[in-house]
């Protein structure tokens, strides 16, 4: 994770948070245009995320929920004014794009598959987002209608020749997507934190909720391919996760949804 030391506190930072971070070094660790992320070098470390107003409400809810289950950061403050601000503790350890984990890809593949299966077996009866699948499908439908099509999201094995072809697959198969597990929603290597190969927690859970397991499986496979520069761990990941719950035909439907962002 790249960290750039800031010379001053952002001007629009809420006063309550300014008082909390006063005197600490603040680093910009942003990696997406959708949000600014700052590391606060104080104590064991904190993270502060800033995005457009209302954009971090669900992430605040789901981060609190994951923390209550024992595998997430603690939410210290969520403020929504002209922008959204979310302050959390840092999860101890390193994300899975750290060199020590990428250097042992087989173990990494097996580890994130096992941890995903454990997440999906967690009780979700009190989850604040009870039907993430409906939101997920509605988002894909909206983006198709507005021409938001990103072919580059697909692994080669799930490629579609056009937006129409992907949309037809999605419409024909969308009823196969169920809301039956606690979903991370963006199960990529940078969002999985390990401490000496043991799970320390998950971050960036704003797309989480009760949803279809194949969304997380898809992104786990995709992230291994993207970060390891090879697709050869696809089958190994499914074996480690458990073929009894992983259906390749449903992964193709998820791929058709994901191409619409």
Catalytic residues: 186
Q: What is the CA radius of gyration of the chain?
A: 19
Measured torsion, CA atoms of residues 176, 209, 101, 30, in degrees rounded to the nearest 10: 120
Rounded to 5, what percent of the chain is helix, strand, coil?
45, 20, 40
Cα 95–Cα 63–Cα 133 angle in degrees, nearest 5: 100
**How far is the C-alpha of 71 from the C-alpha of 176, rounded, in Å?**
29
- The first and second tokens of residue 178, run together, are 């169920």
For 226, phi then psi, to 5°, come to: -70, -45
Strand residues in the chain grouped as ranges (E): 4-5, 25-28, 36-41, 46-52, 75-80, 83-89, 94-95, 181-183, 192-195, 198-202, 209-211
Residue 87 contacts residue 77 (beta carbons within 8 Å): yes
């Amino acid at each position: 994770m790249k960290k750039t030391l800031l010379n001053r506190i952002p001007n629009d930072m809420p006063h309550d948070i300014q008082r909390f971070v006063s005197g600490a070094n603040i680093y910009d660790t942003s990696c997406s245009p959708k949000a600014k992320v700052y590391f606060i070098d104080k104590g064991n470390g904190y993270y502060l995320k800033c995005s457009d107003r209302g954009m971090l409400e669900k992430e605040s809810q789901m981060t609190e929920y994951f923390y209550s289950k024992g595998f997430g950061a603690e939410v210290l403050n969520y403020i929504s004014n002209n922008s959204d601000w979310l302050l959390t503790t840092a999860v101890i350890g390193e994300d899975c794009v750290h060199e020590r984990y990428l250097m042992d890809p087989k173990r990494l593949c097996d580890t994130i598959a096992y941890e995903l299966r454990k997440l999906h077996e967690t009780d979700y009866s009190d989850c604040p987002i009870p039907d993430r699948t409906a939101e997920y499908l509605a988002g894909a439908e909206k983006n198709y209608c507005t021409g938001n099509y990103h072919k580059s999201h697909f692994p080669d094995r799930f490629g579609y020749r056009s937006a129409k072809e992907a949309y037809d697959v999605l419409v024909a198969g969308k009823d196969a997507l169920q809301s039956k597990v606690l979903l991370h929603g963006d199960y990529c290597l940078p969002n999985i934190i390990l401490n000496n190969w043991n799970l320390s927690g998950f971050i960036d859970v704003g797309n989480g909720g009760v949803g279809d397991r194949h969304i997380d499986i898809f992104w786990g496979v995709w992230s291994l391919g993207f970060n390891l520069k090879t697709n050869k761990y696809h089958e190994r990941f499914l074996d480690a996760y458990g073929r009894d719950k992983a259906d390749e035909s449903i992964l193709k439907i998820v791929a058709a949804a994901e191409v619409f962002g």
